[in-house]
Structure 1
Amino acid sequence: MKEIAPNTPVIVGVGFYQNPTDDPAACPEPYEMMVEAVRDAAKDAGRPDLVTTIESISVEQGMWQYRNPGKLIAEAIGCPGARSVLADLGVLQLTPLFDLFAAIQAGEVSMGVVTGGEAKYRDLRAKITGTEVSNYQEPEDTPPPDVYHPTPDPFATQAESNAGIMMPVELFAVIESALRAEQGLDIESHRDQVAELYSEFSEIAAANPHAWNREPVAASDIRNPAGKNTMLAFPYTKKHNSQWNVNQSVAILVCSVERARALGLNESQWIYPVSAAQSRHVVCLAEQRALHTHPGTVVAGQRAYELAGISADNIVAADLYSCFPSAVQSFARDLKLKRNIPWTVTGSMAFAGGPYNHGALDGVARMVEVLREKAEGDAAPGYGLTSNLSGIFGKQAVAIFANKPGPRGYRYEDVTDSVAAIDKPVPSITEYDGPASVLGYTVVFHKDTITHGFVYGETPDGKRVVARSDNQEALKVMTQKEWVGETVTISDGKLFSIESAASVVNQ
Structure 2
Amino acid sequence: MTDPTRVPVVIGVGDLRSGRAGSPADPREPLDLIHEATASALTDTGVDRDDLVSRIDTIRAIKTASWSYDDLPGLLGERLGARAVHTSTTPIGGHWPAALLDRIAHDIAHGTSSVALLVGGEAQASVTNAFKKGTDPASLGWTTAPGGPPAFDPDDLGSPAMQRAGMIAPTRVYPLFENRLSHELGHTREQSIDWSAELYAAFSEIAGNNPAAWNPTLRTADDIRTAGPGNRMVTDPYPLLCNAMPFVDQAAAVVVTSLATARELGVADDHLLYVWGGAGATETPDVLARAELGRSAALADSLRRTLEATDLRPGDFDIVDAYSCFPVVPKLLVEHLGLPRDTVPSVTGGHSFFGGPLNSYTLHSV
| Distance (whole Å) between structure 2 residues aligned to residue 113 and residue 279 of structure 1 | 24
Q: Partner letter of residue 362 of structure 2?
A: A
Aligned to 2:78: 75
Shift of 1:157: 4.0
Any idea what SS the aligned residue of 1:278 has?
coil
| Aligned residues of 2:27 and 2:127 also touching (Cα < 8 A) | no
Matched, 1:263 2:270: no
| Distance (whole Å) between structure 2 residues aligned to residue 101 and residue 5 of structure 1 | 13
| Distance (whole Å) between structure 2 residues aligned to residue 155 and residue 106 of structure 1 | 38
Aligned to 1:43: 43
> Percent same amino acid at aligned positions?
29
Shift of 1:95: 2.1
| Distance (whole Å) between structure 2 residues aligned to residue 44 and residue 136 of structure 1 | 27
Aligned to 2:90: 87
Aligned to 1:105: 109
The 5 Å alignment of 1:7-46 reads 7-20=6-19, 26-46=26-46
Q: Partner letter of residue 308 of structure 1?
A: T
Compared CA separation, residues 197 and 160, structure 1 to 2 (3 A): same
| Distance (whole Å) between structure 2 residues aligned to residue 53 and residue 115 of structure 1 | 17
Q: Partner letter of residue 170 of structure 2?
A: P
Aligned to 1:433: none
Q: Deviations over 1:409-466 (max 9, x none)?
A: xxxxxxxxxxxxxxxxxxxxxxxxxxxxxxxxxxxxxxxxxxxxxxxxxxxxxxxxxx
Shift of 1:155: 6.9
| Distance (whole Å) between structure 1 residues aligned to residue 331 and residue 282 of structure 2 | 21
Q: Partner letter of residue 124 of structure 1?
A: T
| Aligned residues of 2:162 and 2:286 also touching (Cα < 8 A) | no
- Identify, as 1 or 2, the structure richer in helix: 2
Matched, 1:217 2:219: yes
Any idea what SS the aligned residue of 1:162 has?
helix
Aligned to 2:150: none
- Identify, as 1 or 2, the structure richer in strand: 1
Higher relative contact order (CA 8 A, sep 6+): 2
Shift of 1:340: 5.9
Q: Partner letter of residue 144 of structure 2?
A: Q
Shift of 1:194: 1.1
Aligned to 1:310: 312
Among 186, 189, 204, the alignment partner of 1:187 is 189
Aligned to 1:445: none
| Aligned residues of 2:94 and 2:358 also touching (Cα < 8 A) | no
Q: Partner letter of residue 295 of structure 1?
A: A
Structure 2, unmatched stretches of 5+, are 148-154
Shift of 1:4: 5.5
Compared CA separation, residues 165 and 117, structure 1 to 2 (3 A): same
Compared CA separation, residues 3 and 25, structure 1 to 2 (3 A): closer
| Distance (whole Å) between structure 2 residues aligned to residue 233 and residue 301 of structure 1 | 29
Shift of 1:91: 7.6
| Aligned residues of 2:4 and 2:258 also touching (Cα < 8 A) | no
Shift of 1:71: 0.5
TM-score, normalisation: structure 2: 0.90
Shift of 1:306: 1.0
Any idea what SS the aligned residue of 1:275 has?
coil
Shift of 1:3: 4.9
Q: Deviations over 1:10-31 (max 9, x none)?
A: 0111111211178878332111
| Distance (whole Å) between structure 2 residues aligned to residue 116 and residue 218 of structure 1 | 30
Matched, 1:274 2:281: no
Q: Deviations over 1:220-265 (max 9, x none)?
A: 2111222121111001111101111111000111001111111011
| Aligned residues of 2:334 and 2:340 also touching (Cα < 8 A) | yes
Q: Deviations over 1:192-236 (max 9, x none)?
A: 221111111101111222211111101121112221211110011
Shift of 1:120: 0.6
| Distance (whole Å) between structure 2 residues aligned to residue 337 and residue 13 of structure 1 | 30
Q: Comparing 22-31 with 260-269, which one deviates more in the overlay?
A: 22-31
| Distance (whole Å) between structure 2 residues aligned to residue 182 and residue 270 of structure 1 | 42
Any idea what SS the aligned residue of 1:253 has?
strand
| Aligned residues of 2:279 and 2:305 also touching (Cα < 8 A) | yes
The 5 Å alignment of 1:338-353 reads 338-339=340-341, 341-353=343-355
Any idea what SS the aligned residue of 1:319 has?
coil
Structure 1, unmatched stretches of 5+, are 141-152, 365-507
Aligned to 1:390: none
Q: Deviations over 1:291-313 (max 9, x none)?
A: 11122111211110111111001
What RMSD over aligned residues (CA atoms) do the two structures have, in Å?
A: 2.2
Q: Comparing 154-163 with 340-349, which one deviates more in the overlay?
A: 154-163
Q: Partner letter of residue 89 of structure 2?
A: L
The 5 Å alignment of 1:385-400 reads none
| Aligned residues of 2:321 and 2:346 also touching (Cα < 8 A) | yes
| Distance (whole Å) between structure 2 residues aligned to residue 24 and residue 218 of structure 1 | 24
| Aligned residues of 1:57 and 1:84 also touching (Cα < 8 A) | yes
Q: Partner letter of residue 86 of structure 2?
A: R
| Distance (whole Å) between structure 1 residues aligned to residue 23 and residue 193 of structure 2 | 37
How many pairs are equivalent? 352
Q: Partner letter of residue 194 of structure 2?
A: D
Aligned to 2:151: none
Shift of 1:5: 3.4
Compared CA separation, residues 261 and 242, structure 1 to 2 (3 A): same
Shift of 1:283: 5.7
| Distance (whole Å) between structure 1 residues aligned to residue 83 and residue 26 of structure 2 | 27
| Distance (whole Å) between structure 2 residues aligned to residue 139 and residue 212 of structure 1 | 29
Aligned to 2:152: none
Compared CA separation, residues 52 and 213, structure 1 to 2 (3 A): farther
| Distance (whole Å) between structure 1 residues aligned to residue 341 and residue 272 of structure 2 | 27
